Amino acid sequence: MTMIPINVLRHRRSFLTAASAFSASLYTSRGAFADLLQSPSVTEGPFYPDRLPLDVDNDLIVLSDSLTPAVGTITHLTGKVLNTRGEPLKGLTVEIWQCDANEVYLNTRDSVPKEKQRDVHFQGFGRFETNSAGEYRFRTIKPVPYPGRPAPHIHFKIKRGDRELLTTQMMIRGFAGNQQDGIFMNTGDAIDRELLLVDFLPMKESKVGELTANFDIVLGRTPEDRD
């Protein structure tokens, strides 16, 4: 797990507070100091759910009234939402969506033509609110590639209330298809692309091959931060 060491950052907090107060009106200047770099935005794509499922919790493996789990490699996806000073951002909504193991999204433009193909047990979309440590958590499947998107990915949206702060995607570090993926390869520069990559690691205590993945997201200044 690669959690960003908040404690390490604390010793500079007083300096940073003074610095940020001083530079409040100059926050776009390139010289501004940052502990963490902003996560890049990545296209939303065409398949954000057009009709939200009844169950939108953070367990995408099991639908509320179902006993049958989704097909796929179960992945415990965790992470933090932070600002560039490394401070946790609580109370933000983290939304994720991805296609099922049979390559079908929870969007009628994809799911209706592929009605017979889809995994009806996969929730396809989930929501979670960050806690006071900025943390979020989902149980989902390891994303799969499909024609047109050789990079397996999970879509993310970060919101404060209804207001969207960031739309992005995470991808699997070391997956060969990333290098052929137009969305990935056209994202920003080498730093931006690096910030999208996540290690999928075997979960130590799991006997059924579950994985863990940690994806920290760093937001730039938002209007509320300008005070």
Q: Under rule CB under 8 A, which residues in 71-130 are in contact with other proteins?
A: 86, 103, 105, 109-110, 113
Nearest-angstrom CA–CA distance, 14 and 172: 37
Residue 18 is a binding residue for other proteins (CB under 8 A): no
CB 61 within 8 A of CB 125: no
The HSE-up count of residue 16 (CA atoms within 13 Å, CB side) is: 15
Tokens of 2: 């690669």
Residue 184 is a binding residue for other proteins (CB under 8 A): yes
CB 94 within 8 A of CB 129: yes
Q: Would strands 135-141 and 74-83 be described as parallel, antiparallel, or unpaired?
A: antiparallel
Nearer to other proteins, 111 or 123 (CB): 111
186-208: b (≥16 Cβ within 10 Å) or e: ebeeeebbebbbbebeebeeeee
Q: Would strands 74-83 and 211-214 be described as parallel, antiparallel, or unpaired?
A: parallel
Tokens of 63: 């639908």
Q: Shortest Cβ distance from residue 208 to other proteins (Å)? A: 29
Interacting span for other proteins (CB under 8 A) from 30-38, 58-66, 117-125, 132-140: 30-38
What residues between 43 and 62 interact with other proteins by CB under 8 A?
A: 43-47
Q: Shortest Cβ distance from residue 140 to other proteins (Å)? A: 17
Q: Shortest Cβ distance from residue 122 to other proteins (Å)? A: 16
Interacting span for other proteins (CB under 8 A) from 24-32, 54-62, 126-134, 202-210: 24-32
Residue 209 is a binding residue for other proteins (CB under 8 A): no
Q: Shortest Cβ distance from residue 20 to other proteins (Å)? A: 13
Question: Given candidates 13, 17, 18, 27, which one binds other proteins under the rule CB under 8 A?
Answer: 27
